[in-house]
Amino acid sequence: MHAKGETVRRDLPEMRTSLPGPLARAVIERDHAVLSPSYTRSYPLVAATAEGPIVEDVDGNRFLDFSAGIAVVSTGHCHPRVVAAIQKQAGRLIHMSGTDFYYQSMVTLAERLAATLPGPRRVYFGNSGAEAVEAAMKLARYATHRTKFIAFLGAFHGRTLGALSLTASKAVQRRGFGPLIPGVHHVPYPDMYRDGDRAASQSLEAIERLFHTVLPPEEVAAIFVEPVQGEGGYLVPPKGFLESLERIAKAHGILLVFDEVQCGMGRTGKLWAWQHSGVAPDILTTAKGIASGMPLSAMIARADLMQWKPGAHASTFGGNPVAIAAALETLDLLEESLIDNAARVGAYMMERLAGWPARIASVGDVRGVGLMLAIEIVRDRATRERAQDLRDAVVERAFERGLLVLGAGENSIRLCPPLIITREQADFAMDVLEEACTHVLG
């Protein structure tokens, strides 16, 4: 509570009750009775309202959101320009189905997205990242007349059956759902912290071993890869890795598909993460940050590949005009300043994080690019043993101090705030995390 006349900072957290508060506890009890137990909740946040990077729960506690709704609200919660665009569109036309009729705004967004990649491109709109990945799988098979795929261990591409067949993040995501789509082979994703200079070569050699043993390359339709791996631990591949992957793909007529559902839309300090390497994909999938919280995804493919016939693939709600309006405003905001802000504030945060492995026990590694950063928690720095329990304790401690973060991979903490974040808010987050790490880890 605040004394009479005291100014309340609305851009930083404030705790009014113990966590969870009484209203939150009541909602959680009702939730457990009626909602799917398959949902994953890291801590008892019951969101009520949000603005910018601040989320307020039903008990009036305010939190600094360094998860951005799982990398979704790229322009912050309820950005006034995005809200205005949504309200204006909702008052004019909510739905007519862009797969059966035409929307001018759908054409406009497709033109803008297509122009961000080299060469003529065509765009398919869906509602989620998994839908974009499913569409990419289907198009790759259709265009190449091949049936097999290569993906990476640690990858998360979605939970629908096709996307799940590519996913290799957690066993629980696959357990009980087989058989999945056949012909998907997984290889290690480069992990610089654990494999050092051998990280890239081990992955590339694994692909070549597949080609020489169980997977004829002429049967492979596509290689699916995240330019920065998300759920696997926010792993940044070494320089030259994507270029080598491109050479392998081109040598065998294999399509290169970049999943930028999490790492795209300005998160890494460029619109697309692939732009850090210069290797453009044949097909790109994106979602999450594309519409600041509205359900929308896109698959952007070379025009010569997207030659399937009417009815071959479609979505009733994909490219909904309200979601499109939010995406157009989001893209404007990203291009005006937020991509640059992600690069600038992300670099500032990395400067602060850089010394943690040397002075905070059990912080094994810090890594990332732009506002896609990770802290890896280990049992012991010498052995690098993964410590999920310690990571979870740090996440819980941060929540109690008013900071929302999530895990990534087995034992890393992901930092993916809205791209509007300020240096002062970044400092608050770093202070809370440093205290949490010191408190939990010693």
Residue boundaries of the structural domains of the chain: 1-65, 81-334, 354-416+432-442
For domain 354-416+432-442, give the CATH number.
Answer: 3.90.1150.10
Q: Any idea which residue has 């497709």 for tokens?
A: 110
Q: What is the pLDDT of residue 6?
A: 47
| pLDDT higher than threshold 80 for residue 8 | no
Question: For 81-334, which CATH class?
Answer: alpha beta
Sign of CA dihedral 333, 336, 337, 338: positive
Determine which of 16-20, 48-52, 90-94, 265-269 has the lowest per-residue pLDDT on average.
16-20
Ramachandran angles phi, psi of 40, nearest 5°: -110, 125
Q: Tell me, yes or no, if the two domains 1-65 and 81-334 fold the same way.
A: no
Class of domain 1-65: alpha beta
Confidence of residue 441 (pLDDT cuts 50, 70, 90): confident
Q: What is the pLDDT of residues 57-96, one digit of tens each?
A: 999 999 999 999 999 999 999 999 999 999 999 999 999 9
Percent of the chain with pLDDT over 70: 98
Q: What are phi and psi of 77, to 5 degrees?
A: -70, 130
Which of the pair, 5 or 167, is modelled with greater confidence?
167
* Contact in structure between 379 and 386 (CB atoms under 8 Å): yes
The residues, ordered by sequence, that sit 6+ positions from 346 with a Cβ below 8 Å of its Cβ are: 268, 269, 368, 369, 370, 371, 372, 373
Tell me the sheet residues that pair with 49: 56
